[in-house]
Amino acid sequence: MIRRRTALLPLTALLATALTALPAPSAAAEEAEQLRNGTFDTATEPWWASAGVAAGLSDGRLCADVPGGTANPWDAAVGQNDVTLVKGETYRFSFSATGTPEGHAVRAIVGRSTAPYDTWFEVTPQLSVSGNSYAYTFTSPVDTPQAQVAFQVGGGAEPWRFCMDDVSLLGGVPPEVYEPDTGPRVRVNQAGYLPAGPKNATLVTGATTRLPWELKDAAGAVVARGWTVPRGTDASSGQNVHSIDFGAYRRAGSDLTLVADGEASRPFGLGTAAYRRLRTDALKYYYTQRSGIEIRDDLRPGYARPAGHVGIAPNQGDTAVPCQPGVCDYTLDVTGGWYDAGDHGKYVVNGGISTWELLSTYERAGLARTGERAPLGDGSLTVPESGNKVPDILDEARWELEFLLKMQVPDGQPLAGMAHHKIHDEQWTGLPLMPHADPQKRELHPPSTAATLNLAATAAQAARLYKPYDARFAAEALSAARKAWAAALAHPDRYASESDGVGGGTYADPNVTDEFYWAAAELYLSTGEKQFADHVLASPVHTADLFGPLGFDWARTGAAGRLDLALVPSGLPGRDKVRQSVVRGADRYLATLRAHPYGMPYAPDGNAYDWGSNHQVLNNAVVLATAYDLTGAARYRDGALQAMDYVLGRNALNLSYVTGYGEVSSHNQHARWYARQLDASQPSPPRGTLAGGPNSSIQDPFAQSRLQGCVGQFCYIDDIQSWSTNEHTVNWNAALARMASFVADQT
Ligand code: 9MR
Q: What is the DSSP string of 418-469?
A: -EESEEEESS---SS--GGG--SPEEEPPEEHHHHHHHHHHHHHHHHHSTTT
Q: Please give, one letter per residue, the 3-state secondary structure of 185-222.
A: CEECCCCCECCCCCCEEEEECCCCCCCEEEEECCCCCE
Would you state the pLDDT for residue 27?
46
Which residue, among 28, 39, 34, 82, has the nearest Cα to 61 in the 3D structure? 39
User: What would the mean pLDDT of 678-703 be, rounded to a whole number?
Assistant: 94
Those residues whose C-beta lies under 8 Å from the C-beta of residue 8, and which sit 6 or more positions away, are none
Ligand 1, atom 14, lies closest to the CA of 505
| pTM attached to this predicted model | 0.90
Cβ of 503 less than 6 Å from ligand 1: no
The Å distance, Cα 348 to ligand 1 centre, comes to 13
Domains of the chain and CATH, by start: 26-171 (2.60.120.260), 177-285+574-747 (1.50.10.10), 290-572 (1.50.10.10)
Cβ of 611 less than 6 Å from ligand 1: yes
> For ligand 1, what atom is nearest to the CA of residue 505?
15
Which residues in 458-510 belong to E strands, given as ranges?
none
Q: 427 versus 449: which is more confidently predicted?
A: 449
C-alpha 456/C-alpha 519 separation (Å) is 6
Residues 165, 385, 425, 718: which is the catalytic one? 718
User: What would the mean pLDDT of 349-366 be, rounded to a whole number?
Assistant: 98
Give burial (CB, 10 Å; 0-12/13-18/19+) of 664. middle
Ligand 1, atom 3, lies closest to the CA of 611
> For ligand 1, what atom is nearest to the CA of residue 555?
4
By the 8 A CB rule, do 392 and 381 touch?
yes
The Å distance, Cα 322 to ligand 1 centre, comes to 23
For residue range 425-444, list pLDDT tens digits in order.
Answer: 998 888 889 999 999 999 99
Residues 281, 670, 700, 745: which is the catalytic one? 670
For residue range 31-86, list pLDDT tens digits in order.
Answer: 999 999 999 999 999 999 999 999 999 999 999 999 999 988 999 999 999 999 99
- Residues of the chain with pLDDT > 90, as a percent, come to 89
Cβ of 339 less than 6 Å from ligand 1: no
317 has pLDDT over 90: no
Cβ of 338 less than 6 Å from ligand 1: no
Q: 9 versus 685: which is more confidently predicted?
A: 685
Cβ of 505 less than 6 Å from ligand 1: yes
Cβ of 610 less than 6 Å from ligand 1: no
User: What would the mean pLDDT of 133-143 be, rounded to a whole number?
Assistant: 91
Active site residue 343: yes
The Å distance, Cα 505 to ligand 1 centre, comes to 5
For residue range 592-608, list pLDDT tens digits in order.
Answer: 999 999 999 999 999 99
The Å distance, Cα 347 to ligand 1 centre, comes to 10
Cβ of 727 less than 6 Å from ligand 1: yes
Q: Mean pLDDT of all residues in the chain?
A: 94
534 has pLDDT over 70: yes
Which residue, among 510, 509, 493, 568, has the nearest Cα to 536 in the 3D structure? 568
The Å distance, Cα 565 to ligand 1 centre, comes to 28
Active site residue 718: yes
> For ligand 1, what atom is nearest to the CA of residue 731?
1
User: What would the mean pLDDT of 637-654 be, rounded to a whole number?
Assistant: 98
Would you state the pLDDT for residue 18?
33
The Å distance, Cα 303 to ligand 1 centre, comes to 24
Which residue, among 269, 29, 47, has the nearest Cα to 139 in the 3D structure? 29
Cβ of 500 less than 6 Å from ligand 1: no
Would you state the pLDDT for residue 14?
32
